[in-house]
């Protein structure tokens, strides 16, 4: 990550008005949990290219990491105004609503993502987490299994499936799911 940050910083010295370079530097900084610096990069990218959808979505993530939910929501909404079918912005908005306790709005976001792209495992996983929290164990199990079917190496989904199966009284199946989670974490 430090190498990427250095690379993009050097490239920006040569091309300071390149929105994509600012965006990529923001992504590298975000990966290093340097969210305030990432936010500044995304803002600069959007100054240079106001209709940069991925820039708005990434700015929303940085703002969410900086505990600025209202500003994050505004960024996700701007991305969706530009590209209504942006599944990343919708999924992130669902996560934002979940964190705020807005369950219905969160579910609507995840369901909209899945209507647009049934193979988007993150939305299945996030929906599973929300349904589990609500005590809708059978529905949560279905969501986790769908996420795993799409991305078999998703260790957290195996773990959460195991936890949900255990809570649902399916101990043998839960144990097998925990084992699969451990297998995926060790590779």
Nearest-angstrom CA–CA distance, 119 and 101: 26
Please say if the pLDDT value at position 28 is more than 70.
yes
Average pLDDT over residues 69-87: 98
Mean pLDDT for the chain overall: 96
Closest CA to 69 of 48, 93, 47: 93
At a CB cut-off of 8 Å and minimum separation 6, what does 86 contact? Answer: 53, 57, 79, 80
What is the enclosing helix (H) or strand (E) of 119?
none
pLDDT tens-digit readout, 3-14? 999 999 999 999
Q: Burial of 176 by CB count in 10 Å (0-12 exposed, 13-18 middle, 19+ buried)?
A: middle
The reported pLDDT for the residue numbered 147 is 97
Encoded tokens for 72: 């994050």
């Amino acid at each position: 990550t430090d190498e990427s940050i250095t690379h993009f910083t050097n490239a920006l010295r040569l091309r300071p008005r390149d929105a994509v370079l600012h965006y990529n530097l923001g992504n590298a900084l975000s990966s290093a949990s340097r969210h305030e610096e990432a936010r500044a990069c995304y803002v600069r990218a959007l100054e240079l290219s106001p209709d940069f959808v991925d820039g708005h979505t990434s700015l929303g993530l940085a703002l969410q990491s900086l505990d600025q939910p209202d500003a994050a929501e505004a960024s996700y909404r701007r991305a969706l105004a530009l590209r209504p079918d942006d599944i990343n912005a919708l999924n992130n908005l669902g996560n934002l609503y979940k964190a705020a306790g807005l369950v219905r709005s969160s579910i609507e976001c995840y369901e909209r993502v899945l209507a647009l792209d049934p193979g988007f495992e993150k939305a299945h996983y996030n929906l599973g987490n929300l349904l589990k929290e609500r005590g809708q164990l059978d529905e949560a199990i279905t969501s986790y299994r769908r996420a795993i079917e799409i991305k078999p190496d998703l260790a957290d989904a195996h773990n959460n499936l195991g936890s949900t199966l255990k809570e649902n009284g399916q101990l043998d199946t839960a144990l097998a799911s925990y084992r699969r989670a451990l297998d995926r974490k060790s590779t």
